[in-house]
Chains A and B, each alone.
Chain A
Amino acid sequence: MSTATAEHGHEGQGHDAHGHHEPQNFFLKYFWSTDHKIIGMQYLFTGLAMAVVGGFAVYAFRMQLAFPGMSVPGWGRVTATDYNALVTTHGSVMIFWVAMPVLIAALGNYLIPLMIGCDDMVFPRLNRLSYQLFLLSIVVLFMSFYAQGGGFGGAWTSYPPLAAKAEYNLTPAGAPLWLLAVALEFAAFLLGGINFVTTVMNSRAPGMKMFDIPMVIWMIIIASIMFMASVGPLVAGAVMLFFDQTLGTGFFDPNQGGDPVLWQHLFWFFGHPEVYVVLLPAMGIVAEVVTTFARKKLFAYKTVLYTAVGTGVLGFFVWAHHQFIAGIDPRMANIFSVTTLLISIPVAEMCFVYIATLYGGSIRLTTPMLWALAFIGEFLIGGVTGIFLGASGADIYFHDTYFVIAHFHYTFFPIAFIAVFAAMTYWFPKMFGRYMNEAWGKVHFWGTIIPFNFIFIPLFLLGARGDHRRIYDYTHFPDLMKPGMQDLRILATLALVTLLAFQLVFVVNFFLSMFRGKKAEANPWKANTLEWVAPSPPPHGNFPEGLPNVYRGPYEFSHPDRQEDYWPQNVAS
């Protein structure tokens, strides 16, 4: 074994002496590259483009809810079938094609080799294949929109029998195509996950011990392992559902001896860990940003790490809290209530550590720092309202109301957008070698955070009043049209439109700064981790002055023995 490794190593270095040819051709450089940074940016830009799709879908169906029957500018009249397809598209796109590619694939690909101090991923071609599969999954998803009968409208959870039988969902081609797209996306992320975990296990810079790994890398790795361990049953379930849809098997049909609740178990066994799969990288981003801009050591590195592992393990034992009213055994509901309430402890612990890191720091309110602070505040609201839903007694009332929607958007929006904006504004100088405009960054920040709360606080209020979700036109339900209820729906929708409009500020700022922004040096924020050792933007191979060695942990800010308030990981003394 060891001889094989040694020989392997020698051979690899032999190749490398000639290696790292820059591809000349534009197509080869940006579309056929095996460079982890290019692949990371491919994932980033694709994910952001999909966010436009998901954002447009929510705009169209929210307009229908606020102003039933109106002709929505840019879409036209939203029919009931459209409404179902739009809701499904919004949910599945935002989770599978925005949160996953941006938080795991884009950040993981871009940051892992840079932050652990090596030149690329261990399997660059596998990495490229992963992105190509991901792109293919998007093509299949778009095909499903235009298939006969329209796009799938059975919600991102795709429960049978609605999802299994074409006579119920009325999308004979849309439903299986949607499922195929999701399966392809899983395959892409499984390849990516294996690559990430292997790279961090084997290819760290000399001297980088376990507790010298930056927190965001730990989080991406724990998340990748969670993804790999949780997605299997859903892959199996997807094959079974696909056969139910296309061949007419009865895996989820009680008439044929199957069981529809089985799908819910298989789906949520993946679906709930998935929440933590995207949460943990977001928590990692916040750790990097908060330490850099508080100029302080992370309050309790090991606590964050152990609580993240604890979250990862406990995350596998909470899934049935989605099924409290699906007819599961009440004794089982008790157990899952307890595990669900328990998981708030490690997650809250992480937030407390970040608050403790801020205490006594020299805080700099840059745009990335504002996003990181907003993440902690807004995510806490999402976490606290989760307690209501995790307790099975309260959940019986809240189930399938807008309270649930408001709750999970208070978790997912901070994860998939607030933390991602923190990451993009923080690493922008590294990615493009230029600063983003701070003033416009802050306009975008407030233009996002304020409307965000004005969308979802009304939905909490509606949910508490029993407003049922998955309803196309509330005017048919007098109980849900009590005084004030429609006003809250209109308020939420107008806030949504405001939030979407302010994203234009970000897009313009992003592209103008990319080409016209102030030039950034290698380490613009005076941070410690290894990506700031490489030039901005890093060339192919990352570290032209040789791969770095590591001498200390990633968060040595304001060390009393040093004149400068930071101490990069690669500086010998």
Chain B
Amino acid sequence: MSMARPIATTRSATGISTGKLAVWWLIASEIVIFGGVLGSYVMHRLGHPEWADQAANTNTWAGAFNTLVLLTSSLAAVLAHNAAEMKDGKKAAKFLWLTILGALVFLVVKSWEWSTEIHHGFTITSHTFWSFYYTAAGIHGLHVIIGAIIMAVIAVDAAKGKDLQRVEAVGLYWHFVDIVWIFLFPLLYIAK
């Protein structure tokens, strides 16, 4: 079924494109979701100083490496946006694939970390610290996976010069995923 774009989509009373506006609202609703998880976690940590003994078993170096990977991938997302502004769809696609590579490296490191931890007996049910650890990072990881898939779809279109305005929108989302990790890293790995 062919989809004609309604006139509504092309109007812009605010001066901000519809797609970008929608991503901002998406991010707003995601902030409260992560706010709920992290708020609950912080309240528990404040009430249970002894959880630090559990937190001591997280792999700070792996977390730090992943922080670096995500930050670098955000740089690639910015370069993709830059290329899209210049109407260079091929270059934008290339940088988007580079961002996806960052996402993949992040996920590989994460799965190695998790399997090591589970191997050492730190499972989601072994302690409520680990319940929070796997839940918070798991929800974040789900966002990384979804972000990578959306970027792949957009990269394929961008390479053909189609819908280049979407490169910026997905970039916004990716920076948000990055920022969530910036909160998770100190809370889950450094606070010991």
Q: Which residue of B lies closest to A3 (CB)?
A: B85
Q: Name A121's contact: one of B8, B16, B19, B139 (CB within 8 Å).
A: B8
Most buried by B among A121, A197, A236: A236
Determine whether the beta carbon of A249 is less than 8 Å from that of B131: yes
Q: Mark B3-37, 1 if CB is under 8 A from A, else 0.
A: 11111111111111111011001101111111111
Interface flag for B186 (CB, 8 Å): no
Q: Which residue of B lies closest to A191 (CB)?
A: B26
Do A119 and B7 form a contact, CB below 8 Å, given A247-B124, A250-B128?
yes
The residues in A between 274 and 328 inclusive whose CB is less than 8 angstroms from any CB of B are: none
Q: Name B6's contact: one of A16, A201, A257 (CB within 8 Å).
A: A16
Contacts of B85 in A (CB 8 A): 4
Determine whether the beta carbon of A239 is less than 8 Å from that of B25: no
Determine whether the beta carbon of B5 is less than 8 Å from that of A15: yes
Do A4 and B164 form a contact, CB below 8 Å, given A202-B13, A233-B35, A237-B36?
yes
Interface flag for B173 (CB, 8 Å): no
Contacts of A190 in B (CB 8 A): 29
Q: Mark A215-234, 1 if CB is under 8 A from B, else 0.
A: 00000000000001111111
Interface flag for B43 (CB, 8 Å): yes
B155: min CB distance to chain A, Å: 17
Stretch at the interface among A5-13, A504-512, A558-566: A5-13
Q: Name A118's contact: one of B11, B48, B132 (CB within 8 Å).
A: B11
- Complex Cα spacing A11 to B85, Å: 16
Interface flag for A48 (CB, 8 Å): no
Interface size grouping (class) on chain A: 35 or more
- Complex Cα spacing A239 to B134, Å: 12
Contacts of A70 in B (CB 8 A): none
Contacts of A121 in B (CB 8 A): 6, 8
Residue count of chain B within 8 Å CB distance of chain A: 53
Do A120 and B124 form a contact, CB below 8 Å, given A5-B15, A257-B51?
no
Q: Which residue of A lies closest to B29 (CB)?
A: A228
Contacts of B139 in A (CB 8 A): 236, 239
Q: Mark B109-139, 1 if CB is under 8 A from A, else 0.
A: 0000000000000001101110110010001
Determine whether the beta carbon of A233 is less than 8 Å from that of B8: no
Interface flag for B160 (CB, 8 Å): no
Q: Which residue of B lies closest to A262 (CB)?
A: B40
Q: Which residue of B lies closest to A28 (CB)?
A: B1
Determine whether the beta carbon of A120 is less than 8 Å from that of B6: yes
Interface flag for B58 (CB, 8 Å): no
Interface flag for A266 (CB, 8 Å): yes
A123: min CB distance to chain B, Å: 7
Determine whether the beta carbon of A198 is less than 8 Å from that of B32: no
- Complex Cα spacing A199 to B21, Å: 10
B20: min CB distance to chain A, Å: 8
Q: Name B29's contact: one of A9, A193, A239 (CB within 8 Å).
A: A193
Determine whether the beta carbon of A236 is less than 8 Å from that of B36: yes
- Complex Cα spacing A202 to B3, Å: 20
- Complex Cα spacing A234 to B32, Å: 9
- Complex Cα spacing A168 to B98, Å: 51
Determine whether the beta carbon of A194 is less than 8 Å from that of B29: yes
A19: min CB distance to chain B, Å: 3
A541: min CB distance to chain B, Å: 8
A329: min CB distance to chain B, Å: 13
Q: Name B165's contact: one of A8, A203, A234, A240 (CB within 8 Å).
A: A8
Contacts of A28 in B (CB 8 A): 1
Q: Mark A120-156, 1 if CB is under 8 A from B, else 0.
A: 1111110000000000000000000000000000000
Q: Name A232's contact: one of B11, B16, B30, B43 (CB within 8 Å).
A: B30
A-B contact pairs, 18 of them (CB 8 A): A12-B7, A15-B5, A16-B6, A113-B8, A118-B11, A190-B29, A193-B25, A202-B11, A203-B11, A228-B28, A231-B29, A232-B31, A233-B32, A249-B128, A250-B131, A251-B135, A266-B36, A541-B6
Interchain residue pairs A-B with the least CB separation, the first 8: A232-B32, A19-B4, A233-B36, A12-B10, A236-B36, A120-B6, A232-B33, A249-B131
Question: Interface on B for A, CB 8 Å cutoff?
Answer: 1-19, 21-22, 25-26, 28-37, 39-40, 43-44, 47-48, 51, 85, 124-125, 127-129, 131-132, 135, 139, 164-165, 168
Give 19 A-B pairs besides A12-B6, A19-B6, A236-B40 with Cβ atoms closer than 8 angstroms.
A7-B165, A19-B4, A20-B4, A118-B7, A122-B22, A123-B9, A124-B6, A195-B22, A197-B25, A202-B12, A202-B14, A229-B32, A230-B32, A232-B29, A239-B139, A249-B131, A250-B128, A256-B128, A257-B127
